[in-house]
Amino acid sequence: MNEIMPGLALQKVDERIMTLNVGPQHPGSGHMRLIVQIDGDYIVACDPDPGYVHRGEEKMAEYRNYILNIPHLERPVIHDSCNVLYPYVLGVEEILGIEVPERAKYVRVIASELNRCIYIMYWLAIYGIFLGHSTMFMWPAGDRELLIDLMEKMTGARVTHAHFIPGGVRNDLPPNFEDVCLRHVNYFEKRIKEYSAVFYDNPILIARTKDTGVLSRQDAIRLGTTGSVLRASGVDYDLRKKEPYDVYDELDVHTNVMKEGDSYARSKIPWLDMLESCNIIRQALQKMPKSGSVRVKLKPNPKGKGLTSVYKRVESGRGSLGCYVVSDGKPEPYRLKLSVPSFRNLIALPYLLKGEKLGNMPSVYWSLNYWPVEADR
């Protein structure tokens, strides 16, 4: 970084090094700014500047009761809205002391796995277009429609489902959902397997992404990255397996780990996760109780007893997503804190980009599985 001169908001101009602002309107950065310093074509330093889409979700939550918090808390990631809501719902259930019916737990697992696939497909489409691979933009954007159709049948909305609620889910599955879901998921799995030939085994992609932005195993742990970034660096850490919530302990979850830690590995891990999600959905459909309640009836203004706090975390499409809820016995939470994976993964970006070419910046940046709106909350 350039030295800031005392007393003035001015920076010393270097003869060689140029400062480049990528964003916040640039399509290659999302709703954020990357202050990149380049020497010729090589990046000397990079300073991510998030905060352009800060909405004050945490403060808003202090003025609404536990039910009315649901629609606005899923706004940070509208494609992954079930997983964003999941830790909040689990936390509130513990504060209110609610036991969730067995069928509701399975419905939640199916909804959250479908949402994970929807999110990753959207992410993959953007990753494809960042690399100039327009087929990889069109295919995931189209195939995502299969799962969005399923979520629409299940919850009544294409995005922002507002489906999870403390005590279960809002509505029961529609009749004949199991067959439709199985048919869609089987076809979806067949489709995403075709991506390997066109994208992941494509020598042009491998040449672009192999050995760029390498994050070593030690650095991945030291910087506190989560999710696909951590698993691409060789750390086998998945909350669905390490700290199973709901019914994940009854399902056979397999985690995908790659040792390279480069952009290629980080882009391949989400794709492998989608194949694993298809397996989990099939298992959950098989083990789910065929009938029964999906929701516990709540009192009009549910409130906890005394001063309690609870921290719950789940594995979202991007990594471990935590929610800390403090209750002081009122219908509204006293404090709510979202610990989001996007912000944790963004921390690794300045270390990854040092010494890379400017042309590799979009692929390294988007391989971090970063969602700007979620990081700003």
As beta bridge partners, residue 338 has: 323
Binding mask 25-64 for another protein (x = CB under 8 A): --------------------------------------xx
Q: Measured from the CB of residue 14, what is the shortest distance to another protein in angstroms? A: 40
Q: Is 211 in the site for another protein (CB under 8 A)?
A: no
Largest CA distance in the chain: 72
- CA 375, CA 356: separation in Å to the nearest integer? 24
CB within 8 Å of 9: residues ≥ 6 apart: none
Is 113 within 8 Å of 344 (Cβ atoms)?
Answer: no
Q: Is 210 in the site for another protein (CB under 8 A)?
A: no
CA-only gyration radius of the chain, Å:
21
As beta bridge partners, residue 11 has: 4
- CA 377, CA 199: separation in Å to the nearest integer? 32
Q: Measured from the CB of residue 21, what is the shortest distance to another protein in angstroms? A: 34
Using CB under 8 A as the binding rule, the residues of this chain from 54 to 113 that contact another protein are: 63-65, 67-72
- CA 267, CA 209: separation in Å to the nearest integer? 9
Our CB check for another protein shows the closer of 155 and 277 to be: 155
Among 153, 210, 335, 337, binds another protein (CB under 8 A): 153
User: The tokens of 128 are what?
Assistant: 């494809």
Q: Is 292 in the site for another protein (CB under 8 A)?
A: no
Q: Give 291-335 as a DSSP string.
A: SS--BPPPPSS---SSSEEEEEEEE-SSSEEEEEEEE-SSSS-SE
Q: Is 171 in the site for another protein (CB under 8 A)?
A: yes
Is 1 within 8 Å of 10 (Cβ atoms)?
Answer: no
Binding mask 232-271 for another protein (x = CB under 8 A): ----------------------------------------
Q: Measured from the CB of residue 302, what is the shortest distance to another protein in angstroms? A: 13
Number of residues interacting with another protein: please give it, by CB under 8 A.
45
Binding footprint of another protein on the chain (CB under 8 A): 63-65, 67-72, 135, 142, 145-146, 149, 152-157, 160, 162, 170-174, 183-184, 187, 194, 197-199, 201-204, 206, 293-298
